[in-house]
Amino acid sequence: MKKLSILLFIIITNISCSESSQITITKLEGSPKYENSKLKLNELTFNGKHNFSFGVDDYQMGEQTLKDFKFKLANSDKGQHIHFIINNAPYSAHYAEDFSKKLEEGNNVILAFLSRSYHESVKNPNAYYFSQIGDGKKINLDKEFLFYSRPKGVYKGIDTEKLLLDFYLINTDISPDGNKVKATIQNSEFIIDKWAPYYIEGLPKGEISIKLELINSEGVLIDSPFNPSYRTVTLE
């Protein structure tokens, strides 16, 4: 009976360790840098909706991103595009430089940035637009911000094997000795100290919960709008 109890303990412990350690994140290597690409707002008009007219330099909207890694990430067959985020809600993807959005009443914090066809953001200081629109109470845009981008939505088939983890930082950076991003995926926690794309592996099928937190060097949550971020995605 004692041997059986020990054996059961070992089995349960091994299962528990396996479940807690199977989720991993790995830095994504092999994306084109697009260091000179630019995004700017040329014009904003209103006629019941807000009409955004962006200008894009050194970046081909609608083209498939040429990459150096061989594995598959969820990819848009419409090509490279703009991620458009309002108040850190899930982004909308836009494949033309001109588009319209209906904004909610009150203040709307807008972040737009260039995105590769597989939804990785272009992280250079000229590749994004950041502002606020509306009549509500304004926030301090000089604060440190973390915006959630990926993963998003429903994943099927081979797309469930590797999920892109990507976020956008404004007015801050992360480093081993400074601010960091804490990612909680299901019950697994990861501390990220380099602003880069990552991919998640080892996820089970079903609903997956993700929380991203911008923390300081002491591990304390930074007091900033939209911090932390919560999302749920589904793997089928």
Mapped onto helix, strand or coil, the DSSP state of residue 6 is helix
**Over residues 185-208, mean pLDDT:** 97
> pLDDT tens digit string along 99-155?
999 999 999 999 999 999 999 999 999 999 999 999 989 999 999 999 999 999 999
> What's the rounded Cα separation, in Å, for the pair 52 and 114?
15
**What confidence category does residue 20 fall into, taking pLDDT thresholds of 50, 70 and 90?**
very low
CATH superfamily of 24-235: Immunoglobulins (2.60.40.10)
Predicted pLDDT at 12: 36
**Single-letter amino acid, residue 59:** Y
User: Residue 132 has what pLDDT?
Assistant: 97
> Is the separation of the CB atoms in 66 and 79 below 8 Å?
no
Output the pLDDT for position 179. Answer: 98
Share of the chain above pLDDT 70, in %: 91
Confidence of residue 7 (pLDDT cuts 50, 70, 90): very low
pLDDT recorded at residue 21 = 52
Measured at the alpha carbon of residue 167, what is the angle toward residues 198 and 124, in degrees to the nearest 5?
95
Q: Identify the band that residue 24 occupies on the pLDDT scale cut at 50, 70 and 90.
A: very high
Separation between Cα atoms, residue 77 and residue 161, nearest integer Å:
19
Query: What 3-state class would DSSP assign to 2?
Result: helix
Neighbouring CB atoms inside 10 A of 200's CB total: 24
- Distance (Å, whole) CA 136 – CA 190: 36
Q: Is the pLDDT reported for residue 201 higher than 50?
A: yes
- Average pLDDT of the residues in 66-86: 97
Residue extents of the structural domains in the chain:
24-235
Mean pLDDT, residues 51-71: 97
User: Is the peptide bond preceding residue 90 cis, with omega within 30 degrees of 0?
Assistant: no
pTM of the model: 0.90
CA angle 31, 35, 38 (to 5 degrees): 115
* 120, 32 contact by CB (below 8 A): no
Helices assigned H by DSSP within 176-232: none
What number is the average pLDDT over the span 48-55?
97
Average of pLDDT values for 195-204?
A: 98
